[in-house]
Structure 1
Amino acid sequence: MGDLDTGWAVPTDFPETGWTPESIDQHLAQARAEIPAWNDPQQTRLGFAMAAPHPQAVRTLGDWSALNTNNVGVHTRFGEGKTGTRRLEKEALAALAGLYRAGALDGHLTSGASEATLAALRIARNLLRGAGHRVRVITSDLCHASVGKAAEILDLDLVRLPAGPTWTLTLDQVRQAAADAIAEDVTGIIVVATAGYYNSGFADPVDAIAAHLRDLAFQHPEKVRFFLHVDAAHGGFVFPFTAPDLPFDFRNPGVHSMAVDPHKAGLMPYSCGALLVRKGLLEHVTRIDPHTRIPDETVLGSRPGAMAAALWATLHTLGRTGYTTLATRCLEHRDQLAAAIQAADPDALLVPAPNAPVVSAAFSHPGGQLPPELCERYRLVPLTLPAPEKDGERRLFYHFYASASLTEPQITAFAGHLAGATAAARTAAARTAGPADGAGRSITSDVVADTRTHTDCFRHFVVHPEARRDPDVPGYSFHTFTQRRATDEQIQDIPFGQARAGGPLWVYAPDLKDPFANELFGVRTDHYFLEVLDRHQQQLSLVGAIHATILLPGTLRVLLNFESDGAFRSAEYKALGEHGADELQIFPDAITAKIGKHAAGFRRPRSDDYSFSIDTSAEITVRRTDGDGPPTVVTARHNADVLLPRRPHLRREQFRRFPNRFFDAEVDIEAGRAWTGAAYLPELLAPTPVGTVLAARSATAELCTVDGRITDAGLHLALTPLAEPRTDALELAATWDLGLRLHDALPRLDVQDPARLSIEQVVEFAESVHEVFTRTGLPAGLAIAGARP
């Protein structure tokens, strides 16, 4: 699991001296090789509006970057933009004004349409609030995320209108939303329309919306003001060349600003966007820099002049004829993609975008989902939408872009991969809909359900599908799980006699006819459950090949972990709180305290992929080393301030790797085995970034300070709640000999070759583990959050 090194970003040493040119070239070449080529048939960006930049843009950007010019400010006003890259920016924006049927416009280049939309809404907010209006933004629920971000940053009320069968804003929706706003005494109304939705390629009826808003403004000249912004990030470099009569632009007097993205269909490198705005509006955001006396109306300020030169060069290299040729070819490729989809699934619902190189498709097999590996290969993102011409029906649609970089071999490869995926989906659906297997593989009993409530193991809920279980096979993904409830591999259980400690004993596995071949095999009693992982899962497990959970009275639980050769690895003593646990992890040569640990599994949106999140407020590890050296801090990182609220886990949409790990504070200490004495945690941490006061969010003590000492006997921590009235400190303490005693006392079972195991062997091992552990009870020399068995 080498990629776990990238799961948590840790600081590295800043280079003391420069690397050699050879080392730099080697590192950069490795990184470059990780990025697929634009013509790579195995990994095509069909789900996103991305294309290779034009060679002229790349060449100009490289040539002009060495000048390092700063195009800060706005250069479209009379008398501005006279020389150099500022003149080229002014000329490029003037050409865009001509493309979008405008008179004289103001504007500036941006990092992208997201920044341009933020800049436009800032202008609208300032002019409307400055005139005394309450302000509201009205847009479609399908708008680009930048609209929501802009409203959040600018503290604007945002109303998102639901997407109907047209997948666009309708005039009736805007008319009603404006009327509702006026009735609520909201008299400053910003409407954000879209020309080329990112997820469909459709365009709002900008002309009808603009005309209606102007009519309302004339009807209420002393009361209501409107501002119409058009997000043309995608359509701005498509519709003028595929549908020049489509009235989405400044030919409408009611359109006030527009955002476009030359780094999409305009064939510019990232990051290149543009804001275009009617004259007389930029002054609402003018600020004079007190240090330079330069007036600036932009959001970011400095921006590269080289990008202005590259945009000017690309526009004048291609011209209307060149862009029209490219756009026409993209529409042809869109139709080829549609044909490939129809061939793979004749019953799929196809929705090509009028005049845009995008086709959306809802597939006919149950659920309509495409396999995660296909979505990853082609960067496909599904969206649930109302089906056009299907009253009230909602379907899962995938959208496919035919960018200027798409090649015929890529379309052919996609057609083959999609045909295989849809055929497999139909076969799986037919199998699922067939008669039940007489072996009873779909049973989820009370025994299994009860085990799931106590386990930390994700394998009870999800399973790697066939042919994707071995980490060594090509294409294996940590994310490639399927919910057990959707497969024929639900966990089964059968009674297997009486437990020696009393009560029934059960065994369970996904397939009790072949109990050690798939994910796990378990033994369950009223007192514990023990599980052996199959050979593939042993390679993936972070904490060993055998796990035994001992259920103790109250909120204390113990998890024993064993290596594949049967040797004791660790014991995790958990004090369970409402959210997460405080833990002591005991190893033969180390003790780790995890304060406020909370692990969770998340199903990634619109897929069958899963990821884990492991969140710990403070992790303190003390390791014993050879010699008599005193305790020394090896690592002390202060990563987050626990006094400030934060989300314990990322949102599920953010999970891209496995797993996510987060620590508020990390402390790693080494101490010699022969050392004697006592060392106190605040003194050890005083010279580190953590400082003398270590705070944490405990699962049992909530917000607390962590104090403690290390002695030749062991580790002792005290968690003191910060809340008033203050209560007695809670203890996390263990002796050094505890791990060694468990290592020597617990039985062993070699599970390196699970296929050679028998159910009877594992049952006997499980019973012996429970007997040996409970004979001593909770081992002496350990306290955790004040709990006792």
Structure 2
Amino acid sequence: MKFWKKKSSKEIQDRISKALSENRSFYDEPILGMPASHLDSKIFPNNNPILKDAPFLQTLINNPNHIGCHTIAQSESTFAGTQEIEKQLLNIIACDIFKANENEYDGYVASGGTEANMQAVWIYREYFKKEKGAKQSEIAVFCSTDTHYSLPKACNVLSLDLYKIQVDDDTREMSPESISATLDRAKSEGKKYIIFTSNMMTTMFGSVDDIDMIAKCLKESELEYKIHIDGAYGGFFYPFAQEESILNFENPEVSSITVDAHKMVQAPYGTGIFLIRKGFMKYTHSKDASYVKGEDYTLVGSRSGANAIAVWMILSSYGSYGWAEKNFVLKKRTDWLCNKLDKLNIEYFRHPDSNIVTIRAEYIDQDLAAKYYIVPDNHHNPKWYKIIVMEHVGIEHLELFLDDITIPA
């Protein structure tokens, strides 16, 4: 892992002020041809004193549109200043966290992990069609039964068949036998091209898929494939908790990665990141967007530049060492909780490099779940409840929960 520099509040403020000055201003310039403007001045006046030392809010009311993919082509010069910060943010995530080489990746700040996962599936569907002559019916998406619901949603929208692989109830792992059997079934049903989503901490369990095993099974199947990493939850935690992680661009099996900044980074909602190896974004090139400088490659189209600024600000305020330290504290806090649960003989699942602890439902009654806002795997018939040790979850909160938990006779 490379390291990004920690910046002072003044350095962050100055950098964003410079970026905004390099954007064209809806307040001061005769911008006549764009279907956009700054935020409504009656509700969001730009002379409010609160904006003085608030670079994110300054960006928000200026309302830059980051439409397009700025790592691949020309972009709207109207917002060149803040687009450059988005590119710097992508460099931190792609190169410093996920070990990509400079200029060997593309990506953008998406609306969240759902969009980013769908972008990956869309790209690979088009890649297989355009490069391999695949028929739509020959392409399939694979994932575990613990994978986020965005994958079934993506398959629905993109009209692709989905194959879910069962996981072990205790380990939350797929077996090589179950993967191979599902691949054999897909082959018998005419599938020739596989888009496999591998998890970097599932949303419910924090479990991590074995990409080496997945790749081995795919090779043995002799089907063509691409592997996408869904790190929507774990992308800003797991690489710091597990320094030997191979879920990054140093691994040739990894083609793309999704991460969410509105989870562990605590950025505003609607902030995910999509990263992919250079050369693949072209498969979703929307040439019909000819009125957009550089045209478009993304699923979403128009998107707020303020969200990219928010993530850049947060990561820059920590630097890589500060970010690692923050995650170290959360991991140790999770260790503490697990030690207490062990002493109470309470059954749970926790990946050792995760800050999610998922407890079997027989230990959590509805009143306890409601009191502590503990989330079930299924609201209709819960089998598990999860605790996520986020920054706001202190030992004092966990102690209260442990005092209230009931151990079945």
TM-score interval (norm. to shorter): 0.7 to 0.9
**1:238 aligns to what?**
237
CA 1:75–1:170 in structure 2 vs 1: closer, same or farther (change >3 Å)?
farther
Would you say 1:379 and 2:377 are equivalent positions?
no
TM-fit CA distance, 1:302:
0.7
CA 1:292–1:269 in structure 2 vs 1: closer, same or farther (change >3 Å)?
closer
**1:310 aligns to what?**
310
Preserved contact between residue 369 and residue 396 of structure 1 (Cα < 8 Å): no
CA distance in 1, matches of 2:320, 2:216: 28
TM-fit CA distance, 1:409:
2.4
CA distance in 1, matches of 2:178, 2:56: 44
TM-fit CA distance, 1:121:
0.6
TM-fit CA distance, 1:80:
5.9
**1:150 aligns to what?**
154
Q: Per the alignment, in what secondary structure is the counterpart of residue 254 of structure 2?
A: coil
**1:72 aligns to what?**
67
CA distance in 2, matches of 1:308, 1:382: 31
Identity of aligned residues (%): 26
For residues 630-654 of structure 1, the C-alpha deviation after alignment (integer angstroms, 9 at most, x for no partner) is xxxxxxxxxxxxxxxxxxxxxxxxx
CA distance in 1, matches of 2:54, 2:273: 21
CA 1:332–1:142 in structure 2 vs 1: closer, same or farther (change >3 Å)?
same
Preserved contact between residue 73 and residue 297 of structure 1 (Cα < 8 Å): yes
CA distance in 2, matches of 1:79, 1:153: 29
Task: Say what the alpha-carbon RMSD is for the aligned residues.
Answer: 2.7
Q: Per the alignment, in what secondary structure is the counterpart of residue 108 of structure 1?
A: strand
Q: Per the alignment, in what secondary structure is the counterpart of residue 280 of structure 1?
A: coil
CA 1:408–1:347 in structure 2 vs 1: closer, same or farther (change >3 Å)?
closer
Q: Please, which of 61, 65, 87 is the counterpart of residue 90 of structure 1? A: 87
**1:178 aligns to what?**
183
For residues 12-31 of structure 1, the C-alpha deviation after alignment (integer angstroms, 9 at most, x for no partner) is xxxxxxxx99xxxxxxxxxx
Would you say 1:110 and 2:115 are equivalent positions?
no
TM-fit CA distance, 1:143:
0.6
Q: Per the alignment, in what secondary structure is the counterpart of residue 62 of structure 2?
A: coil
Between Structure 1 and Structure 2, how many residues are aligned?
Answer: 347
**1:786 aligns to what?**
none
Preserved contact between residue 75 and residue 294 of structure 2 (Cα < 8 Å): no
Preserved contact between residue 138 and residue 190 of structure 1 (Cα < 8 Å): yes
Preserved contact between residue 140 and residue 162 of structure 1 (Cα < 8 Å): yes
CA distance in 2, matches of 1:246, 1:300: 30
Preserved contact between residue 74 and residue 294 of structure 2 (Cα < 8 Å): no
Would you say 1:399 and 2:383 are equivalent positions?
no
TM-fit CA distance, 1:295:
1.2
**What is the 5 A alignment of 1:12-411?**
59-77=54-72, 83-98=80-95, 99-103=97-101, 104-130=104-130, 131-133=133-135, 134-164=138-168, 165-213=170-218, 215-216=219-220, 220=222, 224-288=223-287, 289-292=289-292, 294-342=294-342, 346-362=344-360, 368=362, 370-383=364-377, 396-411=383-398
TM-fit CA distance, 1:172:
3.3
Larger Cα-atom Rg: 1
CA 1:195–1:84 in structure 2 vs 1: closer, same or farther (change >3 Å)?
same
**2:50 aligns to what?**
none
CA 1:211–1:89 in structure 2 vs 1: closer, same or farther (change >3 Å)?
farther
CA distance in 2, matches of 1:279, 1:209: 23
Stretches of structure 1 lacking an aligned partner (at least 5 in a row)? 1-19, 22-57, 385-394, 427-789
**What is the 5 A alignment of 1:696-707?**
none
CA distance in 2, matches of 1:171, 1:204: 11
Bigger RCO (CA 8 Å, 6+ sep): 2
TM-fit CA distance, 1:369:
5.2
CA distance in 1, matches of 2:174, 2:117: 18
Whichever residue aligns with residue 353 of structure 1, its letter is: H
Whichever residue aligns with residue 134 of structure 2, its letter is: G
Preserved contact between residue 136 and residue 157 of structure 1 (Cα < 8 Å): yes
**What is the 5 A alignment of 1:452-463?**
none
CA distance in 2, matches of 1:296, 1:318: 32
CA 1:375–1:59 in structure 2 vs 1: closer, same or farther (change >3 Å)?
farther
For residues 420-459 of structure 1, the C-alpha deviation after alignment (integer angstroms, 9 at most, x for no partner) is xx16x65xxxxxxxxxxxxxxxxxxxxxxxxxxxxxxxxx
Whichever residue aligns with residue 243 of structure 1, its letter is: Q
CA distance in 2, matches of 1:128, 1:74: 21
Whichever residue aligns with residue 86 of structure 2, its letter is: E
CA distance in 2, matches of 1:137, 1:88: 34
**1:519 aligns to what?**
none
TM-fit CA distance, 1:156:
0.7
TM-fit CA distance, 1:290:
4.3
Q: Per the alignment, in what secondary structure is the counterpart of residue 295 of structure 1?
A: coil
CA distance in 2, matches of 1:96, 1:260: 9
Q: Per the alignment, in what secondary structure is the counterpart of residue 159 of structure 1?
A: strand
CA distance in 1, matches of 2:394, 2:232: 23
For residues 701-721 of structure 1, the C-alpha deviation after alignment (integer angstroms, 9 at most, x for no partner) is xxxxxxxxxxxxxxxxxxxxx
CA 1:302–1:341 in structure 2 vs 1: closer, same or farther (change >3 Å)?
same
Preserved contact between residue 261 and residue 272 of structure 1 (Cα < 8 Å): yes
**What is the 5 A alignment of 1:590-605?**
none
Whichever residue aligns with residue 231 of structure 2, its letter is: A
Stretches of structure 2 lacking an aligned partner (at least 5 in a row)? 1-41, 44-52
Preserved contact between residue 73 and residue 294 of structure 1 (Cα < 8 Å): yes
TM-fit CA distance, 1:81:
8.9
Whichever residue aligns with residue 273 of structure 2, its letter is: A
Preserved contact between residue 68 and residue 306 of structure 1 (Cα < 8 Å): yes
Preserved contact between residue 68 and residue 75 of structure 2 (Cα < 8 Å): no
TM-score (structure 1 length as normaliser): 0.42
CA distance in 2, matches of 1:327, 1:70: 32
